[in-house]
Structure formats: structure tokens, C-alpha cells
A and B are shown apart, each in its own frame.
Chain A
């Protein structure tokens, strides 16, 4: 479907145009149009063959437990990225993420959880901000003088 939308968006450049003003006779849309066309045609054939192949259908997910264990990873990951963007920055949200993971999934004791949540972001801070001068996202308190 994505490929079909892309084909529609770039249809203007689909045909080679040797007489027109485009450099090399190809407009900007030629390449994405035909890339999308290749993908669409190949996927249609795959879908057709899957449709006619007898009895090969299989459940996509391996039970409720499997879905839950994947969701247990996806949800905190999305929370991490959302909090990181313009709110808590990488270091604080990273610490929270590490703490959550260690406690909820690893079932480690609190002292270990706290230590990993402090030490790993601290190492990242020293390596990236001090050594290599790569500025990673900061929290909203950065402008008030907090270094991370």
C-alpha cells in the first residue's frame, strides 16, 4: 500500500522524457516510481501465491504470552523516546528506563537497580559530552543550569 501511494505521488516522472528539459531525460520521479512499481508487482505476486498455496496459513503470533512479552518491550521503549524528546533528555529518561527494566524484568534488588541507573548514564555522559563533544538531548532543566 505504501508503495502504491508512492507510485501515485511520483507518477509525474514515470515515463522517460528524452525530448524535455529534464537532465539525462529522467525527471526526479522516475527512479522512485519504478522502485515502487517493482515492490508493488513483486508483493502482488507474493500475495497471489500465498492465496493459492494450500493450507500453509499459520498464526502470526505465538499465543498471548508472546504478545505480552513483546508489548513489555515496546511500551517502555516508546515511553523512553517520548520522555526524551524535549522533556527529560536522554540521561534522565535513560536512567528511568534502566531502573524500570532492572526492577520489573530483571527483578534485581533496589541498590543494584539504583547503581546501574546512575552509573551507565554517567559513563555515557562523560564519553559523549566530554570526550567526543557530541551533544545528546538534555532535559528541560538544562537551561536552568543542570548539566544534563
Chain B
């Protein structure tokens, strides 16, 4: 139990007034950055990197606490715009659009949706921090055994769990996945450098970014769809006091405890894997939560199901904690944000790697303690702010709608400062509206656009590494197990369909004929 003693020392360091103040500052900045559209945790950390150099002159622990604090704050803050406005504040809060916004708007429970997300975020962070505290070095070694073939299988699992999502036809989901993968492949091929599907347009060489596509599909698409449903009127959302929502969230958390533990572990592990991060973790957990939900609950996914908020958010936060682990222990960042934080370490004169644990004990344990504290601070601020945030949903339609449109446009523009992305928002807003009308599920499309690039990269890296031998996906025990699970998950809807058909055939031959299901 040496780790416990070290952790206690870490808390003593993190509770030093200067370190604590910098941590709080980082968390608050992260919350603002997370809420603002177009500014992500990665760019937030990058913007404040120069300031961290001055802080590091006083204490490197305070500097890392501040930068990591921005990360925790952004994980919590990204929740807000996803749930209230259907615009993802951060890539890893895209999965919250599927159930968070429906709960806030259709069920009229914005406070509960926010509180569920914040509570599960803290839950994920705490479990992940405990894993970080006790198993940092062995986990990092294990993660290095994960090559492109294993990562490709993990991404395939994420897609497989989404087939048949939103209780729609699995074929429509598959079509949407194909369409999403296609959109993701527009632009330069990252391996050979040849332009693909650009049709001679220079603007398309850099590809179609998933942020403007998601903002368009969900933010603008939803506005257009709801305008027609209700005319241009506003539906009132009941406001509730925060405490009741908190108790209800804890109740949901207790009922779904083991499901959440599994998803947190899953998220943490994906975060630890190099180069993945919180976004694929949140999607995979959403799919897993839905796949293993009882039949009755599964139909509620996409319509405001609490588990659809709890699982991805716990997983996303666990992954963001996990992504710091290989960065600190091996010098291999687990996510883009962790990569920018690692740049900070170099600037302050520290070299990440196993030696850090022996040579800079105070720094490492101060950081680990600040993970617990930073997430706690973010949670307390968010819970206190929830009644105020939820009341935004009651603003009149004519105020909130143009605001969402402006926020969508700024969010898309600010990522690359390109008007092209603004046009993409509008075009995909119309596409999203049309897809809603045709009852096509949007979630598989978005997941495919977000993960498409990484999936292709890992697939081709695996094939290059193996001399184009497709058996590489079954080459190691990990890869074989993951690939088999992914294939089984893909075949599941087909098997269910065939079984239903057989049962129907039997019923039809036994009794009078019934109309075929649509």
C-alpha cells in the first residue's frame, strides 16, 4: 500500500494554496472553453500553454494541475451545449446528443439530463483515477501490446454495436455507416497522399471535418425539424430544483452501477491506448449500454434514456483520465489533448517516462491527486450551475433559435477559421432535416464520420505491418478475440431477423395469414 502513502503526499501537494488556485483556474477556464462552441479542450490547453510556463517557474505541479484542469473542465463543459442546444461542445460529447438532448427537450427534463451527465462524469473520473493510482505502470506496458490490428477491431466493435440503433432498420444503419465512412475518406489519403473524391475542388483536399457535419446534422437539422413539428412556437420546459435531479441521478446511477463500472473500465482502457482518446470511448460505451439494455429500455435509446447519457459520459471522462497515463509513464500521449499537455512537460524541462515516477515523485503524485480534486471541483461548480443552465431552455423561441444558429456557425468556423465549414453546417443541416424525415438514424452516420479516418488508418497500418496478410486481424490472442466479437455483433441483427422470419413463417403456416411487418 505504498501507493496510498504517496497519494496522501500528493494531496498535500495539490492542496497547497498556489497549486489549488491554479487547478481551480484551469477547471473554470476548461468549463468556459468546453461550453463555447468551436473551442475544444485541445485548443484550450494549447492557448494557455504559454501562461503555464510562468506558472511552472513557481511550481511545475501547479502548471500541470492547471493544464490538466482545463481538460477536466472541458470534459464537463462540453456536456452543456450538447444537452441544451443539440450542438456538441466537444467531440467526446457528440454521443450525448443521442439521448441528452431528447431528454432535455422532448421529456422536458434539462436539469436531470445535465445532472446525470455530471454525476456519471465524476463517477467515471473517480474510478479511472483509482486505476491510475494503483496500476499506472503495468497498464501502460499492457497498452503497448495493442497494435493497429487490435485497434481496428475495437473500432469495428464500436460500429457493430450501433447497427440497428434508434430501433430503426439495421439496413438503414448500415447505409448510414457506409455513407459516414465515405465522407470521412474525402480529401488526402493519409497513407499514399493521393487526393480522393475531391472532384478537383481544392477546398475538399483537407477533407470534410466531422465537427461542422455534426453541428449541421444535429444543431441545425433539429431546429428545422422542430419548426415544422410545432410551427414556429416554443414548447415550455418545466424547471425543477437541482437537488431533486441530483437525488434522481444518484438513483439511476445505483440501478445501473455495474453497467457503468464496465463502461468506465472500457473507457479507461480505450483512453490508455495510444492515439484514441475519449471520443471513440464514448461511442463504444453508448453502443454497449444499448446492446446490453433490457428489451424494454432498448427501445427508449435515442429518446432520452438515462443509461444513454450515463454510459458515454462516464466512459468519456474515464478515457480522458486514462489518456494521461501512457503520456506520463511512457511519453506516448493517449489523446490529442494529452499530446499538448506533454508538450508542456517538455517546455518546463521534464521528460515523461518511467523515470518520472522515481525522479519527480512530487510532480507525479501531485498530478494524480489533482485529477481527483480537479474533477470534484468541476462537478461542484456544474451542479451548482445546473438550475441556471436548465433555465436557459425556457428562454423564448425567438431568442434561443437565432442564438443556436449563430453558435453553430461560430463553432464550425472557429475550428479551422474557414468559411467552407460554415457552408458544410448549412448543407448538412438540410441533409439532417431530410434524413430525420426519412427516418434514417443519425447516430451511426456521425460515429462513422468521426471514427472513419482512424479506422482506415489502423486497418491499413495493420496490413502494411503484416505484408498485406488479412490474417493479421486474428494474429494475436487480443486481436482474434476482439475481431471475433466484432463479427458476432455485426451478424447479430441478421440472426435476429432470420429467427423472427422463421417464427413468423411458422405462425403463418399454423394460423391465418398476417400482414408483413414494415
Residues of A within 8 A of B (CB): 2-3, 6, 9-10, 16, 18, 22-29, 31-32, 35-40, 42-43, 45-46, 49, 53-54, 56, 60-62, 65-67, 69-70, 72-74, 77-78, 80-81, 84-85, 90, 94, 97-98, 101-102, 105-108, 116, 120, 124, 127-128, 132-137
Nearest 7 A-B pairs (CB), nearest first? A106-B398, A25-B468, A39-B178, A38-B178, A24-B463, A42-B175, A35-B181
Given A80-B405, A85-B419, A127-B36: A31 touches B178 (CB 8 Å cut-off): no
Tell me if A29 and B196 are in contact (CB < 8 A): yes
A146 to B338 CA separation, bound complex (whole angstroms):
39
Q: Is B340 an interface residue (CB 8 A)?
A: no
B426 surroundings in chain A (CB, below 8 A): 77-78, 81
Tell me if A105 and B199 are in contact (CB < 8 A): no
B178 surroundings in chain A (CB, below 8 A): 3, 35-40, 42
Given A27-B192, A84-B409: A73 touches B224 (CB 8 Å cut-off): yes
Please pick, from B410, B422, B430, B516, the residue contacting A74 in the complex, using a CB distance under 8 A.
B430
Q: Which chain A residue shows the least CB distance to B188?
A: A28
Tell me if B464 and A38 are in contact (CB < 8 A): no
Please pick, from B39, B177, B414, B515, the residue contacting A54 in the complex, using a CB distance under 8 A.
B515
Within 8 A of A (CB), among B232-289: 232
Tell me if B223 and A3 are in contact (CB < 8 A): no
A16 to B36 CA separation, bound complex (whole angstroms):
44
Residues of B within 8 A of A (CB): 33, 36, 38-39, 47, 169, 171-172, 174-179, 181-182, 185-186, 189, 191-192, 194, 196-197, 199, 220, 223-224, 227-229, 231-232, 396-399, 401-403, 405-406, 409-410, 413-414, 417, 419, 422-423, 426, 429-430, 433, 437, 452, 456, 459-464, 468, 515-516, 518
A39 to B176 CA separation, bound complex (whole angstroms):
7
A53 to B409 CA separation, bound complex (whole angstroms):
40
B199 surroundings in chain A (CB, below 8 A): 9
Tell me if B463 and A26 are in contact (CB < 8 A): yes
B463 surroundings in chain A (CB, below 8 A): 24-26
Given A65-B231, A69-B227: A134 touches B414 (CB 8 Å cut-off): yes
Scoring A16, A38, A40 by chain B CB atoms within 10 A of each residue's CB, the highest score goes to A38
Given A65-B231, A85-B419: A31 touches B174 (CB 8 Å cut-off): no
A66 to B47 CA separation, bound complex (whole angstroms):
45
Given A31-B459, A43-B175, A65-B231: A90 touches B410 (CB 8 Å cut-off): yes
Given A26-B463, A135-B417: A56 touches B175 (CB 8 Å cut-off): no
Tell me if A38 and B177 are in contact (CB < 8 A): yes
- Of the A-B pairs whose beta carbons lie under 8 Å apart in the complex, a sample of 24, sorted by A's number, is A3-B179, A3-B182, A24-B464, A32-B181, A40-B178, A42-B171, A43-B175, A46-B172, A61-B437, A62-B229, A72-B232, A74-B224, A77-B405, A90-B413, A94-B406, A97-B405, A97-B406, A102-B398, A107-B398, A108-B398, A120-B403, A128-B410, A134-B39, A137-B419
Given A42-B171, A62-B228, A137-B413: A23 touches B406 (CB 8 Å cut-off): no
A132 to B426 CA separation, bound complex (whole angstroms):
25
Q: Which chain B residue shows the least CB distance to A67?
A: B228
Please pick, from A37, A49, A77, the residue contacting B220 in the complex, using a CB distance under 8 A.
A77
A78 to B176 CA separation, bound complex (whole angstroms):
26
Given A39-B178, A69-B227, A85-B419: A28 touches B189 (CB 8 Å cut-off): yes
Q: Which chain B residue shows the least CB distance to A22?
A: B192
- The smallest beta-carbon distance between B31 and chain A, in angstroms, is 14
B191 surroundings in chain A (CB, below 8 A): 23-24, 28
